Structure formats: structure tokens, C-alpha cells
Amino acid sequence: MSVRLQKFLAEAGIASRRASEQLIVQGQVHVNGRPVSALGTKIDPSEDKVTIDGKLVKPKRKLYLAIHKPPGYICSRNDPENRRSVGELLPKEWNNLYSVGRLDYWSEGLIFYTNDGDFSLKLTHPRFGVKKIYRVALKGNVDQQRLAPLTRGIMDDGEMLKAERVRILKGNNSRSMVEVTLRQGKNRELRRMFEVLGIEVEQLQRTQIGPVKLAELPKGKWRTLTATEIKSLLSPKV
């Protein structure tokens, strides 16, 4: 699979994409022993040999992890309040990984970490509409009629929030458990919708992203995504 040379250099950790373009224009980059100065140049990382000042540039291994985020953790690695970060659950040598989207501080469940920017974009940009399923514990007994606005759409702070599907799993007078499917991926979308409806969220867990399920992954643990899962996540509609 061919990629633009500046993108290959950036993903290999040589420099930013813009700085990599400058290296190419200045003639510092060689492909298969020949200097390259054209920014439109494409290479096949599996076959072509790229060097800078005689040093071989090796493609950085791309990593894709599924993590069961516990409540009380942030997804960012840096926090002025010194709260615990999901990154602390990973090996120290993987400090270059970043979260694909977010789960807020008190929410838990499935989240991906990667160093592949294209993968992250595909799963987070609204135009791709990747399915995400949540299991939500609500205070009190709620019925389908009260939850109906979720699938019709709710305005909050000038923004339309909408669930694709809402299903009541069980409930009693003190607590209800519902399953909600989203595709928009807006900030705190699910909590905001329930706030507008005046329904208190007691627990929120993301159980699925696209075809990948949280399943039996223990809280605070991680696993690598399989090649089949990665391919499925990158399919046109998941």
C-alpha cells in the first residue's frame, strides 16, 4: 500500500508532516538510494528503503488497544488536577498512544488507544457515524414513553443530540437499566440528553464500538485488537 513520503516520515516519528516536507524539499531524503525532492512522491513502506543522511527510516509499529476504562480516570495523559489517567494502565513504553475519542471522568467501559491517526479519525469523525452502544443505569423507574425524545432528537446548548436506538433492559421503582446506541459521538452527548429530560444517571458504561464488544475484559485491563477487528472497524459502515 503506497503512502505519501511526508506522511511516512511523520508516522515514523522523524518530524511533523510539515517539517518532513521541508526535509524532502531540501533533498535530505533518499528513496532506494536516490534523492527525492518532489512532495507528491509516494512509496511502499514494505518494499522501498527510505534514508535521511544515510540513516534508515523504519516505519513505526502501529498499535491498536482495547481498554476497559474504570470510572475515576481521565482519557488525557496530562491533567492540571493530577487525576489518574487511563494511560497509567498501559506499559510505560507505550506513552505515545492516545485515546480514540473520550469517555468522561465518571463513565467506564470500552475505549481504544492507538498511534494511528487515520484509524482515530475514522472512528471519531461524525461523518463516519461509527456505532457505539452504552448500558446506562438510571435513577427511578422510566418507561419507553419518557425515553422517546432520545430518538426524536433533543436540543441542548444549540446542538441537536440524538440516539439511534433506546431499549429498556430492566427496571423497578428505584432503578432502570437501558441500552442506548449512538452514532454522533458529541461531547458528553448521552449524559446531556438525560440531563435535559431530568433523569439522573447513576452509572454509564460503553459496551461496544462498531463490531468490537467489551465482553469479559476486566476493569482496568487492556488487550490488542485483532487484525479482523481492525479491518471491521475500518469498513464503510460499522
Residues 6+ apart with CB under 8 A from 84: 72, 73, 74
pLDDT in tens, 189-226: 999 999 999 999 999 999 999 999 999 999 999 999 99
Res 218: pLDDT:
97
The candidate with the shortest Cα–Cα distance to 154, out of 191, 123, 128, is 191
Which CATH architecture is the domain 3-56 placed in? Answer: Roll (3.10)
The CATH class, in words, for 131-209 is alpha beta
The residues of the chain that CATH labels 3.30.70.580 are 61-128+215-238
Is residue 210 classed as helix, strand or coil in its secondary structure? coil
Which of 3.30.390.30, 3.30.70.580, 3.40.50.800, 3.90.420.10 is the CATH number of 61-128+215-238? 3.30.70.580
Catalytic positions, written as ranges: 104
Rounded Cα distance, 217 and 224, in Å: 11
How much is the average pLDDT of 85-99? Answer: 90
The residues of the chain that CATH labels 3.10.290.10 are 3-56
Is residue 34 classed as helix, strand or coil in its secondary structure? strand
User: Is residue 15's pLDDT more than 90?
Assistant: no
The residues of the chain that CATH labels 3.30.2350.10 are 131-209
**pTM score, whole prediction:** 0.80
pLDDT in tens, 122-166: 898 877 889 999 999 999 999 999 999 999 999 999 999 999 999
Rounded Cα distance, 236 and 123, in Å: 11
